[in-house]
Amino acid sequence: MRYPKSLLAAFALAALAGCAGLDTRISHNQAFFDSLPVERQITIRSGRIEQGFSKNEVFLAWGRPQRVREGDDPEGAHETWIYTTVQVDTHFHYGWGGYHFRHGFYDDLYPHFTYRPAVERYVVFREDRVVRWESRDFPYAGPIPPEGNPQAQ
């Protein structure tokens, strides 16, 4: 059975995402991690952050942000790191394929992927220290039907 390239790409991305975990980040920055107080090490290992954490400590706990925004307000300049965890919904469609099989086309199942945010976290830094953070959960509302599906309306 031949798998669509998009399905293989999704599995490859999932495998790569597992390589950049907490233990990997700590092992690549072992000297810095060992220099931290034990309480901070425990907090980082549990995947939490606290007010006053440096950017390096947040990186160890949560990894590299997907987006970084800089801004200015009455309190002064700040930098915001934005983390987004996505949820992937997979729907399979049965219909005409695109593969030529001798004298025509054949029917097959084709995956359709819908990506939606599941959790979004923000970390605000002033002078390279955490001043606040927040987390926003997006409740799961079930799979989104594909466009053009008459049952979806």
Residue 19: the pLDDT is: 43
Residue 146 lies in a domain: no
Share above pLDDT 70 across residues of the chain, in percent, rounded to a whole number: 63
Supply the pLDDT for residue 15: 45
In the predicted model, is pLDDT for residue 9 greater than 70? no
Q: Is residue 120 included in any domain, yes or no?
A: yes
Domain extent at residue 116:
5-139
Spell 107-121 as b/e; 16+ CB within 10 A means b: ebebeeeeeeeeebb
15-19, 67-71, 82-86, 142-146: range with lowest mean pLDDT: 15-19
The answer as to whether 100 is a domain residue is: yes
Each residue of 115-141: pLDDT tens digit? 777 788 999 999 999 999 998 877 765
Residue 120 and residue 85: Cα distance in Å, rounded?
6
Beta carbons of 60 and 30 less than 8 angstroms apart: no
What does the alpha-carbon distance between residue 41 and residue 59 come to, in Å, rounded to a whole number? 13
Instruction: Report CA 110 to chain centroid distance, whole Å.
Output: 25
CB 92 within 8 A of CB 112: yes
Number of C-beta neighbours around residue 133 at 10 A: 20
Kindly state the average pLDDT of the residues 63-91.
90
Q: Looking at the 3D structure of the chain, how many domains does it have? A: 1
Domain presence at residue 152: no
Quick check: is 144 in a domain?
A: no
Total number of residues shown for the chain: 153
Q: Is residue 151 part of a domain?
A: no
Task: Give the C-alpha separation, 29 to 41, whole Å.
Answer: 12
The Cα 33–Cα 58 span in angstroms is 12
CA distances from 121 to 61, 65, 134 (A): 13, 9, 6
pLDDT at 142 over 60: no
* Residue 95: predicted pLDDT: 56
pTM of the model: 0.63
Per-residue model confidence as pLDDT tens digits over 35-45 = 999 999 999 99
Whether 153 is in a domain gets the answer no
**147 domain-assigned:** no
